[in-house]
Chains A and B, each alone.
Chain A
Amino acid sequence: MPATLGLVWLADPATERTASTRCPAAANRASVPWVEATDALLTARLAAGDDRALADAFDRLGPAVYGAALRVLGEWNAAQDVAQDVFVELWSHPDRYDPAAGSLRTYLTVLARRRAIDVVRSELRRIARQERNHRLTPPPGVASPSDEVEAAEAAGVVRAAVRLLPDSQREVVELAYFGGLSYREVALAIGIPEGTAKSRLRLALARLESVLDRQLLEMS
């Protein structure tokens, strides 16, 4: 690279350090400080565009992330999707992780759990919509036997899970998801504050996540 060789002229001999530090042999003997591979370092590497840092992150934390997703979802394929989303998020926005707030493992597993819960909620809403449609809309023509079996199984799984909820939570789930009411409408219907309706629904969904097993997603 002859065009850039010349920048040695910028060297200022009088400001050089002692000769020993400029001597390659001495430099090779110099002790090199070792910075431990911390979470902050890993995310700094990610921000710098170091794809090997991403591989390192997956090797170190992939099992925990995948495990967190699998624990909520109970289904391998969906858990893989969530794990992928989590690492894509980490790679795309490493600056969203704050080392001062906790470990990267905690950050990623919480993220995985939230994403997995989102998947469950989405599935619940989808199945609830199907339920409503089945009840409100006469089936067009003749459904195939397999469709009917699938729909019945999905409805059965949801109903079974909802039946396990405490009365107060079951009531808001039925009104919100099967009745199609908003938070405000649910609150008015049963005479509770809107905030209480929201918190009951959150508790109900959290409980449903732990109740619903893999059948739910395998059917979707």
Chain B
Amino acid sequence: MTTGPHEHVTPPAGLRERVLEASLRARLAGHTVPPVPRISPDEAFSRAADAFYGLLCALDEPAWRLHVLRDLDVQGLAGHLIGVEEDVQRALSGHPAPDHQDHVTSTQPAADRQAGRAAAATRTDWRRAADRTLAVVRGADMAAEVTVWGIPLPLSALLVARAFELWTHENDIRRVAGLPASVPDVPTLRLMTELATSMLPFGAMLAGLQGPVNLRLVLTGPGGGTWDVVIGGDAPEPVAIGIVTDVVDFCRLAANRLDPADLDMHVTGDRSRAAGVLAAASALALD
């Protein structure tokens, strides 16, 4: 052989197909490395609740007065989340809050009730409220439909969305308290990404994404994965685009905590349509 050390040699015809087939026999497409252990939606909610409670326990009294969002300080936000638990528990018992109330309006009284209380009292009340929810959903049928604020959804989706919500608000508090951001544990993150990606078509509807898109979404990092999602309805010739981005950043996007323009990503295909997909993800506002 007279080949040099950096020589490229055109592979024989058929080698590419042979390599791809052999590789996919070794590991199916869509399976991550390392594999992500599956946990139940109630376990995901439980873990998110533990993380949130852990943060509340770490805050000193002055930190509870920090403004977080809307007119809520940390204590008010914890009160809001107590109200969310109460509404969810009513829904689980078959007596949901009135349909016309959104979750902010519905939980405002619970938030207001915290004013002037000791932080420890609010913290304990929130923990008890979350534990009551957990006690109801442990062992429940995850496929059962639950109607919360007039909206029906499977219990599994509700609990993962709640995990999303707690993680998002945990990081809202971390941000104002000057603490480093947290990342959900990998199995929980995986459920969160599955929920967000499954909802992208709905987000596209909310965002007014025009025309059908065949999306290959690759979320990198532990808890990520690969999804093929058809967005925007059926059509003979959908636009094919690929988006690769960090899994945690994508969750921040879906929680409406990261601007699409600030998302680092790799795009193949029509980039303007990719921007539309990001707007769809952001419209989910899973916070």
Contact = CB atoms under 8 A, between A and B. Distances in A.
Interface of A: 1-17, 21-22, 24, 27-37, 41, 44-55, 58-59, 62-64, 66-67, 70-71, 74, 76, 80, 83-84, 87-88, 90-95, 213
A6 B96 CA distance: 14
A12 B209 CA distance: 21
A22 B208 CA distance: 10
Interface in B195-235: 195, 198-199, 201-202, 206-210, 216, 218-221, 224-226
Interface of B: 1, 3, 5-12, 15-16, 18-20, 22-24, 26-34, 69-70, 102-104, 145, 148-154, 157, 161, 164-165, 172, 195, 198-199, 201-202, 206-210, 216, 218-221, 224-226, 242, 244, 256, 259-267, 271-276, 278-279, 282-287
Given A1-B201, A4-B198, A54 B18 contact: no
Q: Which 7 A-B pairs have the closest CB atoms?
A: A6-B151, A27-B279, A11-B285, A14-B70, A63-B8, A67-B9, A44-B220
A92 B33 contact: yes
A154 to B, nearest CB: 20
Contacts of B164: 10
A31 B285 contact: no
B220 A45 contact: yes
19 contacts: A2-B152, A4-B153, A6-B153, A7-B195, A8-B284, A9-B102, A12-B104, A27-B260, A28-B276, A30-B260, A32-B263, A37-B266, A46-B33, A50-B216, A62-B11, A64-B6, A92-B33, A94-B33, A95-B33
A34 B267 contact: yes
B20 A3 contact: no
A54 B28 CA distance: 12
A47 B246 CA distance: 12
Contacts of A30: 260-261, 275, 278
A84 B284 contact: no
Contacts of B207: 22, 24, 27
Given A16-B256, A33-B262, A33-B265, A88 B22 contact: yes
B266 A48 contact: no
B26 A84 contact: no
A213 B1 CA distance: 8
Given A63-B10, A71-B5, 10 more contacts: A6-B149, A12-B256, A22-B282, A27-B282, A32-B260, A32-B267, A47-B33, A48-B32, A48-B220, A80-B18
Nearest to A27: B279
A84 B261 contact: no
B15 A84 contact: yes
